[in-house]
């Protein structure tokens, strides 16, 4: 199984910090110009952090994703080759060797009335 480095937690932590920072700045009792300049400053900082975080993720997961992409089709084909005989076996147990199933049930009299030899004797 792949090693989990807590990527989901880290992403949530960073997003939570960004949202908390923006909410805190917007709610702080400061003049509009000061708030805007602080938001600009913080947004540059967080954009840089996010870009670095994204680069790290691509660097670490890129080779893994390529390996998975290369290995997936042969693995799926192998699984199909193993499963198809089992599916056929299960189907043969339910359907049986005679796959002709009448559309509706007919009585014995109806079956004999369809017989051309029986019509001659009538």
pLDDT at 103: 52
pLDDT at 1: 43
Q: At what angle do helices 32-95 and 7-27 cross, to 10 degrees?
A: 150
pLDDT at 18: 84
pLDDT at 62: 81
Quick one: tokens of 75? 């693995």
> Mean pLDDT, 10 residues at a time, over the chain (122 residues)?
62 85 74 77 84 86 83 88 89 68 54 53 48
CA–CA–CA angle 95, 97, 100 (5° rounding)? 70
Extents of the domains making up the chain: 8-91
First to last CA, the chain: 76
pLDDT at 97: 56
């Amino acid at each position: 199984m792949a090693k989990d480095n807590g990527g989901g937690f880290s992403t949530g932590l960073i997003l939570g910090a960004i949202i908390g920072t923006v909410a805190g700045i917007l709610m702080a009792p400061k003049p509009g110009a000061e708030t805007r300049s602080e938001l600009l400053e913080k947004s540059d900082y967080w954009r840089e952090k996010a870009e670095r975080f994204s680069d790290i993720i691509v660097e670490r997961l890129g080779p893994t994703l390529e390996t998975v992409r290369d290995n997936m089709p042969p693995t799926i084909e192998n699984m199909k080759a193993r499963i198809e005989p089992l599916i056929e076996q299960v189907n043969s147990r339910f359907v049986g060797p005679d796959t002709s199933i009448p559309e509706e049930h007919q009585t014995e009299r109806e079956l004999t009335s369809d017989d051309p030899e029986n019509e001659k004797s009538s």
